[in-house]
Amino acid sequence: FEVKESKFRREMEKLRNQQSRDLTLEVDRDRDLLIQQTMRQLNSHFGRRCVTTPMAVHRVKVTFKDEPGEGSGVARSFYTAIAQAFLSNEKLPNLDCIQNANKGTHTSLMQRLRNRGERDREREREREMRRNSSGLRTGSRRDRDRDFRRQLSIDTRPFRPASEGNPSDDPDPLPAHRQALGERLYPRVQAMQPAFASKITGMLLELSPAQLLLLLASEDSLRARVDEAMELIIAHGRENGADSILDLGLLDSSDKVQENRKRHGSSRSVVDMELDDTDDGDDNAPLFYQPGKRGFYTPRPGKNTEARLNCFRNIGRILGLCLLQNELCPITLNRHVIKVLLGRKVNWHDFAFFDPVMYESLRQLILASQSTDADAVFAAMDLAFAIDLCKEEGGGQVELISNGVNIPVTPQNVYEYVRKYAEHRMLVVAEQPLHAMRKGLLDVLPKNSLEDLTAEDFRLLVNGCGEVNVQMLISFTSFNDESGENAEKLLQFKRWFWSIVEKMSMTERQDLVYFWTSSPSLPASEEGFQPMPSITIRPPDDQHLPTANTCISRLYVPLYSSKQILKQKLLLAIKTKNFGFV
């Protein structure tokens, strides 16, 4: 990486020095205004770009409303703020007028009407497909089992995980594939409802395999089903009398279900949500979601309106600007997204980084195809070349191949099923947002500058090291003395400082680095710093807090009289963000 990084940095420096124009942004800290103003100004700047060449800039200058300064520290603060705004799970502000700012509101209105018409036609096509599909499936056991609205039953026996004894000792053990799905569901259900995990998991295992795969893929869908199961358990307890409710602790559980619903913005059962076909016409859903490991994001397509796709294109531009300016941007993307940005081929194993739980389920499916009773296992699983998507991926049922809803998955075609499944969820669902992000990246950087980079190289260049390594930070940092004290006191002070930092939590270390440099992460190497971090020791003073000049990555810390005072003042400073932009 170090060799490729050095080469890439030199190329970016050469590209910057060839430019005479700066990009100047004037923005507000408020999330909605920040997004709107950033989109409008980037569109204005890149709207003038030449068709054949990227529009790189010499320098990015940012000023925040009612805040002083426009140096590199302010720019780093902007990249952090806009990344948090884009990755937020809140709805988007109105962006209709931004894409067509120069064309007037008439164009914007026409675009909205055009988008609405397209959505109506798409919904009609979906309804028609459901009607046709329903007609084909009448009376079929396979398709009755595949019914997406299959109900949960209170009479189902509890699930017994392998950790609580050998499931095969049961007089009527579950089929192997159901037991395997249960083992994956149980710990996730237990995290939501520990007292009823066995009962709820057993209820969920009565759903069709297609539904279970959806629950494994979507945390929200699983939570909705768990809440629905809890309501059934509570209702059953009430029917059996108050004593039964008290014995089982169901009254407390009922309160927890309602509290959980409020926390996650849901007050309806999963069936209610599935039957809800209303549409407010806006395309303001959050831009990203986290399909697998927390902290790694994938584009959420929404309705793929022009304004939304323009958002994704500008995200690509911001990533390009960060690479060009040798700055970090905390937009942490899934591996397959980075590979699309780099023009690399996405393969099946990238799905492990996208959705590790589902990857393991599909891997077990492949292994099952090699067993001696594979035909019987697949017949019992009753899968078809159609999958149910979670709401972040558009919702509803989609066919992986033509007439896929009526084509069963068998040991002979399971490889094609797995490949199509991974391809659809990673690439097909978000095809337009991914394409828009790559176009935005290439608005700033020439395509050949990305040719030598792998997905891992890109992540290190753009995101740096999310975990703050104290030894690395020590090796990067120099001290300047303005206190006039003797060498022994200065050495003791340095030991105090690093001892405090070593004992900080990871979040506190990230807050410290943000306070110090305006970026919550460390660059992957020494070359990523511009300039290197430093600490200036000021004269003795137990009253004032440490301050920072983020443009030059410098901390100013008074020579406090004790380690305890240093710790208190430092933690207070990074929480109040007492930094200055110069």
CATH number of the domain encompassing residue 211:
1.10.1900.10
One domain for residues 449 and 562: no
One domain for residues 451 and 541: no
One domain for residues 393 and 372: yes
Reading the chain (582 residues) residue by residue, the pLDDT tens digits are 788 888 998 999 899 898 888 999 999 999 999 999 999 999 988 886 555 567 888 889 999 988 877 777 888 889 999 999 999 999 999 887 675 544 444 444 555 555 556 556 655 655 555 554 444 443 343 443 444 445 777 878 888 887 776 655 666 677 777 777 788 888 888 888 888 888 888 888 888 776 777 777 777 778 888 888 888 888 777 766 544 444 444 444 444 445 554 544 444 444 444 444 445 557 889 999 999 888 899 999 999 999 999 999 999 999 999 999 988 899 999 999 999 999 999 999 999 999 888 888 888 889 888 888 888 888 877 889 999 888 899 888 899 999 999 999 999 999 999 999 999 999 999 999 999 999 999 999 999 999 889 999 999 999 888 788 888 889 889 998 888 888 888 999 999 999 999 999 888 888 888 888 877 777 777 666 777 889 999 998 888 888 888 778 888 999 998 999 999 989 988 887 644 433
One domain for residues 445 and 334: yes
In a domain, 38, yes or no: yes
Candidates 311, 322, 390, 551; catalytic one: 551
Q: Which of 337, 339, 341, 317 is nearest to 329 (CA)?
A: 317
One domain for residues 339 and 438: yes
One domain for residues 440 and 307: yes
Domain span holding position 185: 176-237
One domain for residues 335 and 441: yes
Strands 397-399 and 386-388: antiparallel
The two tokens of residue 40 are: 């409008």
One domain for residues 200 and 309: no
In a domain, 264, yes or no: no
Q: Which of 108, 491, 40, 550 is nearest to 305 (CA)?
A: 108
d(CA 114, CA 117): 5
Q: Which element (helix H / strand E) includes 292?
A: none
CA torsion angle 211 143 229 388 (round to 10): 30
In a domain, 105, yes or no: no
One domain for residues 310 and 362: no
* Residues pairing with 110 in the sheet: none
Last residue of a domain, one of 461, 480, 506: 461
CATH code at position 478: 3.30.2410.10
One domain for residues 455 and 569: no
In a domain, 211, yes or no: yes
In a domain, 568, yes or no: yes
One domain for residues 316 and 444: yes
One domain for residues 41 and 55: yes
Considering the entire predicted model, what is its pTM? 0.72
CATH code at position 356: 3.30.2160.10
- Helix segments in 452-523, DSSP class H: 455-463, 470-476, 487-502, 506-517
- State yes or no: is 551 an active-site residue: yes
Prior bond of 68 cis (ω within 30°):
no
The two tokens of residue 356 are: 């590790």
- Helix segments in 326-430, DSSP class H: 335-342, 351-354, 356-368, 374-381, 414-423
The two tokens of residue 542 are: 């137990």
pLDDT of residue 123: 57
DSSP state of 388: E
